[in-house]
């Protein structure tokens, strides 16, 4: 597919084989050899020439091109382009000149936005990040993704190409930092624009990360991978006690919830705010709790893995439902969570499908990390007498208390009266 942008640009169809759901999705037409800027571009006080071939940059470009050929999208009207860092004098710039890009479909609007991008470059402010006027510069500086379900959520000063995006009918936006997995340096930015207003970019982020891994690259925020030693010690302790309790008493399932770290920036209501790692509009404005990557136990002889997998996909609002009540210091119990409302127990539909009923939850506080952890346990079906359950819950709670005193890394949150069990049939009461 030649000569779609100008006489010097060619687009190649993705040559990779797609399987499963991907065969129903849209691959990209990926840029081939290009000379998009035969003359210099001048913007403000900077003159940017088409770059000389640099072996390192060429390797990165080849890797990004290979990544683009692996991607598939839920809609056709998408543009993906790579922004590369370059030093000009004392300034660091980000440019898309002669960098790989891909189009989901060949029409008039997507190439128009691509041309506008080529004639723009963004300076990474040296001393003040508030001077970074574009998502591209902000993402490069912070190493955090930036996204919005609709570009209308940006103020023009925060998105210089907003007018062009409107003309091209582009709404959904995602910019991801690309790191070298070995050196951990940021090698550039991958930018996605789509005609749809995306309520969630979770799928797209996973697509990018899977493709980037094939080239020893990643879009994950690398600092998140380096948990402080105190966190590791605390999580190991939780897992150790949880495993002993569950195996000794044959509990079907137990899992841990903790605050989801702020690993992205979202633009909504024309403000830039840090958000969690779910890339979902339902999380905007919330302080989210997640169970993904935290200690859990599932009875190998049961059928509760589906419940666990569904929980890993969910983020719970810290200020609502059972999470809020447990964090306030109550040791909560419910004889049958399947009778609770979604507002009280957001996981109720998954619990019903999995046959999980009797449940209790406690909160632990990390002395060194200052993190709060909510632990929920599901009880076996043979525990039916309320008195037996009450004695058992208090026994388990005391185990965590005694172990915490021994290791001095954990303690029950809110010392008094943390053992007062709230015997509720509905946590909303």
Q: At what angle do helices 229-249 and 386-407 cross, to 10 degrees?
A: 150
Instruction: Name the pLDDT band for 1 (thresholds 50, 70, 90).
Output: very low
pTM to 2 decimals?
0.82
Q: Which of 59, 161, 53, 175 is nearest to 114 (CA)?
A: 161
Of residues 42 and 326, more confidence is placed in 326
Compute the average pLDDT of residues 227-249: 84
As a residue count, the chain comes to: 429
- The percent of residues above 70 in pLDDT, for the chain, comes to 79
Tell me the per-residue pLDDT of 22-76, one tens digit each, with 9 for 90 and over.
788 999 999 976 555 444 454 445 555 555 556 777 899 999 999 999 999 999 9
**Residue labelled with tokens 């966190």:** 231
For residue 66, give every residue at least 6 positions away whose Cβ sits within 8 Å of its Cβ, in sequence order, or none: 214, 215
Chain centroid, CA 303 distance in Å: 28
For residue 111, give every residue at least 6 positions away whose Cβ sits within 8 Å of its Cβ, in sequence order, or none: 4, 5, 103
Looking from the CA of 186 toward its CB, the CA atoms found within 13 Å total 27
Tell the burial category of 185 from Cβ atoms under 10 Å away from its Cβ (0-12, 13-18, 19+).
exposed
Report the pLDDT value the prediction gives residue 391, as an integer from 0 to 100: 78
Name the H helices within 34-191: 55-68, 109-118, 135-142, 162-167
38 within 8 A of 118, measured Cβ to Cβ? no
Instruction: Name the pLDDT band for 378 (thresholds 50, 70, 90).
Output: very high
- % helix, strand, coil for the chain, step of 5: 30, 30, 40
| Secondary structure class of 12 (helix, strand, coil) | strand
Tell me the per-residue pLDDT of 383-406, one tens digit each, with 9 for 90 and over.
766 666 777 877 887 777 666 543
Concatenating the DSSP letter of every residue in 148-215 gives ES-GGGS-GGG-TTHHHHHHTT--EEEEEEEEETTT--EEEEEEEEESS--SB-HHHHHHHHHHHHTT
- Asked whether residue 416 carries a pLDDT value surpassing 60, the answer given is no
Name the H helices within 12-131: 55-68, 109-118
Q: Which of 383, 378, 386, 384 is nearest to 356 (CA)?
A: 378
For residue 90, give every residue at least 6 positions away whose Cβ sits within 8 Å of its Cβ, in sequence order, or none: 126
Looking from the CA of 181 toward its CB, the CA atoms found within 13 Å total 11
Compute the average pLDDT of residues 287-301: 91
Q: Could you give the CA distance from residue 292 to residue 294 in angstroms, rounded to a whole number?
A: 6
108 within 8 A of 133, measured Cβ to Cβ? no
Q: Could you give the CA distance from residue 246 to residue 94 in angstroms, rounded to a whole number?
A: 53
For residue 429, give every residue at least 6 positions away whose Cβ sits within 8 Å of its Cβ, in sequence order, or none: none
List the domains of the chain with CATH numbers.
9-224 (3.30.450.40), 229-261+278-424 (3.30.450.40)
Among the ranges given (166-170, 289-293, 354-358, 365-369), the one the predictor scored with the smallest mean pLDDT: 365-369
Among the ranges given (10-19, 58-67, 84-93), the one the predictor scored with the smallest mean pLDDT: 10-19
Q: What is the DSSP letter of 49?
A: P
Calculate the dihedral angle through the C-alpha atoms of 220, 279, 352, 252, rounding to the nearest 10 degrees: 20
Instruction: Name the pLDDT band for 127 (thresholds 50, 70, 90).
Output: low
Q: What is the largest CA-CA distance in the chain?
A: 82
Q: Could you give the CA distance from residue 110 to residue 100 in angstroms, rounded to a whole number?
A: 15
Q: Could you give the CA distance from residue 422 to residue 222 in angstroms, rounded to a whole number?
A: 41
Name the H helices within 197-266: 202-213, 229-249
Instruction: Name the pLDDT band for 331 (thresholds 50, 70, 90).
Output: confident
Q: Where are the beta strands (DSSP E) in 303-367?
A: 316-317, 331-334, 359-366
Compute the average pLDDT of residues 281-288: 90
Paired residues of 121 in beta bridges: 95
- Asked whether residue 177 carries a pLDDT value surpassing 90, the answer given is yes
Q: Could you give the CA distance from residue 326 to residue 256 in angstroms, rounded to a whole number?
A: 12
Q: Could you give the CA distance from residue 215 to residue 409 in angstroms, rounded to a whole number?
A: 40
Paired residues of 271 in beta bridges: 268
Paired residues of 178 in beta bridges: 188
Report the pLDDT value the prediction gives residue 418, as an integer from 0 to 100: 36
């Amino acid at each position: 597919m030649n000569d779609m942008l100008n006489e010097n640009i060619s687009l190649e169809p993705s040559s990779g084989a797609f399987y499963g759901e991907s065969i129903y999705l849209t691959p990209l037409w990926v840029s081939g050899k290009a000379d998009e800027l035969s003359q210099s571009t001048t913007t403000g006080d900077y003159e940017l020439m088409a770059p000389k071939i640099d072996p390192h940059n060429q390797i990165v470009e080849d890797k990004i091109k290979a990544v683009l050929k692996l991607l598939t999208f839920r809609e056709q009207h998408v543009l993906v382009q790579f922004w590369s860092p370059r030093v000009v004098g004392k300034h660091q710039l980000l440019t898309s000149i002669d960098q790989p890009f891909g189009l989901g479909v060949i029409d008039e609007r997507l190439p128009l936005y691509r041309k506008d991008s080529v004639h723009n470059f963004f300076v990474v402010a040296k001393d003040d990040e508030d001077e970074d006027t574009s998502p591209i510069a902000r993402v490069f500086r912070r190493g955090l993704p930036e996204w919005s379900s609709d570009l209308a959520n940006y103020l023009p000063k925060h998105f210089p190409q907003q007018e062009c995006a409107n003309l091209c009918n582009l709404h959904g936006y995602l910019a991801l930092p690309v790191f070298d997995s070995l050196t951990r340096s940021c090698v550039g930015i991958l930018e996605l624009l789509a005609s749809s207003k995306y309520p969630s970019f979770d799928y797209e982020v996973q697509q990018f990360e899977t493709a980037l891994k094939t080239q020893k690259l990643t879009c994950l925020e690398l600092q998140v991978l380096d948990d402080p030693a105190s966190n590791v010690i605390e999580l190991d302790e939780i897992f150790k006690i949880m495993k002993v309790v569950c195996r000794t008493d044959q509990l079907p399932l137990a899992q841990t919830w903790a605050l989801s770290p702020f690993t992205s920036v979202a633009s909504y209501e024309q403000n830039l705010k840090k958000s969690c790692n779910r890339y979902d509009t339902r999380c905007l404005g919330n302080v989210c709790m997640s169970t993904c990557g935290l200690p859990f136990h599932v009875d190998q002889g049961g059928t509760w893995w589906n419940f666990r997998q569904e929980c890993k996909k969910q983020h719970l609002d810290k200020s609502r439902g059972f999470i809020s009540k447990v964090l306030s210091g109550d040791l909560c119990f419910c004889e049958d969570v399947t009778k609770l409302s979604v507002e009280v127990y957001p996981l109720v539909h998954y619990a019903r499908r999995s046959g999980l009923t009797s449940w209790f939850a406690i909160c632990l506080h990390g002395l060194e990390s200052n993190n709060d952890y909510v632990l929920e346990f599901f009880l076996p079906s043979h525990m039916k007498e309320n008195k037996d359950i009450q004695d058992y819950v208090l026994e388990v709670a005391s185990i965590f208390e005694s172990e915490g005193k021994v290791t001095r890394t954990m303690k029950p949150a809110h010392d008094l009266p943390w053992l007062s069990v709230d015997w509720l049939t509905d946590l909303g009461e």
